[in-house]
Amino acid sequence: MAGTLNLVEGPTLSKQWSSRLGPMQQISLTWQASDKMKTRIITAFQLFEENPAIVFTQNFSLAGLSNSSVGNANHLCTSFPSFTVSSDVRKHLGYLSFDQLFMRVQTVASWDLPVKHISNDLYSAPLTIFNETKYTMVLSSFKEFMVSSMFYDGKSDAVQQGIMGMITEIPKGFIQQSVMQFGAGIKETVLQWGKMLRKQYNTKRYTDNDLTLKYIGYWTDAGAFYYYNTETNITYEKTLMDVKDEAEKNYIPYKYYQIDSWWYYKGLISSGVKNWTAMPSVFPHNSRDPATDYAKKNGGAFDFIVEFIRAIPQDEEFWNFLLSSAKKDWGLILYEQDWLNYQFEDMSCTLENVTVARKWLMDMGKGAMRNDLPIQYCMPMARHLLQTVEIPHVTQARASDDYHPGNDQWKIGLTSIIHHALDIRPFKDNFRTNPANDHSPKYQPEPYPGLQTVIAIYSTGPVGPSDRIGFENVTRINRTINSDGLLLQPSRPMMAADDYILGTAFAGKGLGVSERVWSTYSNVSGFIFGAIMAIDVAKPIQVTPENVELEMAGTSYTYMDEAPVFSTKLFDKDHPLTVGPNPEEHYQLWHTAPIFKFNNESWAILGETSKLVPVSPNRFYSITVASEGIHLELHTGAREVIKMMVQTGDTTWELECAGLEAGGRLVIEIKNINVFACVT
């Protein structure tokens, strides 16, 4: 469809109230198309008093559009807003763009470059634009995420947001929206953007009931030793029982086992799910006869749209049946929806119809809600992640490409920003904990198991070792958990620091830091315990708390994880930390602990230095400093002994407390150096 729009009414200013976003002003314009029907379309700007954001609306309440396709799904059939960047400010702007599945292609660059790598197809993602002082704008869809796209026209240097180009008909009553969020700080503005989306849709994630986000488990996904591979001449069932026996022998408290795509019946053409029941060759003691497939067209009971190589359910009851059966029959605790991108872009119905893709995901979410189950998204496009603000039972999503030992899919510092903004836990995928040659028929040995383990626990997503029996590094695994398998994670994911993004975008201008630096923290009773990762740093660089967004009220001590000689240093704006160059594992991990006064002396709780997160809010309930002593309240696992480093003045000392036989609450009262009491 081609033509013009003529303004026939407006602009009209009105004051309105959003039930979720508060008071706002709306500017509306009515346009008339040059088609035979003289179709009228309303566009509107919404400006909010309580949030620096603008929502752009395309409103088809007066009439729909037929024959709207432009013949290319990667283009737009309608767009609003569209904007260009003035030539005089381009050199002062940088951008962060994501592309491809998992948002695995990330570009940080100057807007002044002649060629910009901004996604402009079905994989388009939120676009972040910032200046040299970190004032930032985020642009994304705001409503109807599954049919909304961004398009960048390199010839005119124009960014457009709207409805994807293969949609054949826009029905009367359809409303599509986009949003621009403004703010100070790159990451902070992205987080505020996500907060606005979650507030608009009242998104309250099901995270607290997702066992895989709380406890360690064993994984068999791509990259795992047992991915489409068993021990010699035995079934998968026996192999996994042997994995369990080995874990119990080594006191590795796996709370669940992830079963990947190798166990069920698949179609002949696309290898998609034909019947989600176990094949006798895989689980001989827990298989069923696949009497029928699910689609009515194939003799099943449910409504599907069936095309040549794919089929998609359009029936909420299908998901209730599938998930309730799996939960009842074999103890399903998390449903992983894989191949999201292929399901979407390989079907005509999802690209041409405005409701099919959203209904598919919404029905899945309702099925999960009815069965009290969380969902993990795998191989998501950005549109899938945005859609989850309407699907609270999606608690996690893969933030990386598939793990293969030795590859660099662990680089999730940028994608984790989007995940965290949407309150989705980023998952880095499974990993091996041992560099030894395990004689895998598919993969080489993992050269950097320490790096893989650090990224996993600091992601705040699932932690999934996938070693061959007898090759697991028990010490490394235990650095991530308590004795019950509880994950000792930080308060939020490890993410790229603003100054790393700034330094990359404006390379050569002396802004930010020039190397890959990520950071996060644990917040316990208002005490901020930081973590700083320096990755692939070729030469020493200095960072301050401001560089890594760890601007505590006072000074901290800092120390390096697994340093040859343990020592602490002061860390504040006057005492920068020198990081790099990196050792063999390509990274350094530094911890910070805030200094406080007690008994006229400087103190700091350095934490459990044997753990990768020495002070985790999953371990420490509270820290209180009073005139009579320092009060620590902790959670322990069964038969667990807590060993903790404390710094008093220039003295570093260790305390040790044994918890209850069954685990539970432990209180430590500290009076002075080596003077403390353990109360269970």
pLDDT (tens digit per residue) in 339-390: 999 999 999 999 999 999 999 999 999 999 999 999 999 999 999 999 999 9
Q: For 483-501, how does the pLDDT look when each residue is reduced to its tens digit (9 = 90+)?
A: 999 999 999 999 999 999 9
Is the distance from CB of 364 to CB of 374 less than 8 angstroms?
no
**Percent of residues, the chain, with pLDDT higher than 90:** 88
Q: For 567-588, how does the pLDDT look when each residue is reduced to its tens digit (9 = 90+)?
A: 999 999 999 999 999 877 889 9
Is the distance from CB of 120 to CB of 74 less than 8 angstroms?
yes
Report, as an integer, the average pLDDT of 110-132. Answer: 94
The pLDDT of residue 272 is above 90: no
Q: Is 9 helix (H, G, I), strand (E, B) or coil?
A: strand
Contacts of 497 (CB under 8 A, 6+ apart): 187, 513, 517, 518, 519, 547, 548, 549
Of the pLDDT bands very low, low, confident and very high (cuts 50, 70, 90), residue 288 is very low
User: Is the bond into 81 cis (omega within 30 degrees of 0)?
Assistant: yes
Is the distance from CB of 479 to CB of 463 less than 8 angstroms?
no
Is the distance from CB of 448 to CB of 586 less than 8 angstroms?
yes
Q: For 627-645, how does the pLDDT look when each residue is reduced to its tens digit (9 = 90+)?
A: 999 999 999 999 999 999 9
**Percent of residues, the chain, with pLDDT higher than 70:** 97
Contacts of 112 (CB under 8 A, 6+ apart): 90, 91, 93
Alpha-carbon span 324 to 333, nearest angstrom: 11
Q: Tell me, what's the pLDDT at 287? A: 52
DSSP readout, 148-160?
EEEEEETTTTEEE
The pLDDT of residue 331 is above 90: yes
Alpha-carbon span 313 to 295, nearest angstrom: 8
Backbone angles phi, psi at 264, to 5 degrees: -115, 175
Q: For 66-92, how does the pLDDT look when each residue is reduced to its tens digit (9 = 90+)?
A: 999 999 999 999 999 999 999 999 999
> Which domains are assigned to the chain?
5-200 (2.60.40), 207-478 (3.20.20), 495-679 (no CATH)
HSE-CB for 582 with a 13 A CA cutoff: 18
Q: Tell me, what's the pLDDT at 537? A: 93
Of the pLDDT bands very low, low, confident and very high (cuts 50, 70, 90), residue 609 is very high
Q: Tell me, what's the pLDDT at 268? A: 60
Alpha-carbon span 679 to 665, nearest angstrom: 9
The pLDDT of residue 560 is above 90: yes
Alpha-carbon span 379 to 363, nearest angstrom: 19
Alpha-carbon span 382 to 138, nearest angstrom: 14
Count CB atoms within 10 A of the CB of residue 23.
12
Q: Tell me, what's the pLDDT at 129? A: 98
The pLDDT of residue 34 is above 90: no
Is the dihedral angle over the CA atoms 182, 492, 401, 447 positive or is it negative?
positive
Q: Tell me, what's the pLDDT at 2? A: 56
Q: Tell me, what's the pLDDT at 269? A: 57
Query: Which residues is 139 bridged to in the sheet?
Result: 127, 180
Range in 1-5, 59-63, 394-398 the model is least confident about:
1-5
Alpha-carbon span 446 to 409, nearest angstrom: 13
Burial of 103 (0-12, 13-18, 19+ CB in 10 A): buried
Of the pLDDT bands very low, low, confident and very high (cuts 50, 70, 90), residue 557 is very high
Q: Tell me, what's the pLDDT at 291? A: 36
Of the pLDDT bands very low, low, confident and very high (cuts 50, 70, 90), residue 605 is very high
Contacts of 130 (CB under 8 A, 6+ apart): 93, 94, 95, 96, 136, 137, 186, 189, 501, 502, 505
Q: Is 57 helix (H, G, I), strand (E, B) or coil?
A: strand
* E-assigned strand segments in 73-214: 76-84, 93-99, 105-110, 127-131, 135-143, 148-153, 158-164, 169-170, 175-184
The pLDDT of residue 608 is above 60: yes
Query: Distances from the Cα of 151 to the Cαs of 68, 112, 193, 309, 642, in angstroms?
Result: 17, 18, 20, 28, 54
The pLDDT of residue 660 is above 70: yes
Contacts of 260 (CB under 8 A, 6+ apart): 219, 220, 221, 222, 224, 227
Is the dihedral angle over the CA atoms 180, 183, 189, 195 positive or is it negative?
negative
Alpha-carbon span 451 to 408, nearest angstrom: 10
Residue at 344: amino acid letter: F
Q: For 406-446, how does the pLDDT look when each residue is reduced to its tens digit (9 = 90+)?
A: 999 999 999 999 999 999 999 999 999 999 999 999 999 99
Q: Are strands 425-427 and 394-398 parallel, antiparallel or unpaired?
A: parallel
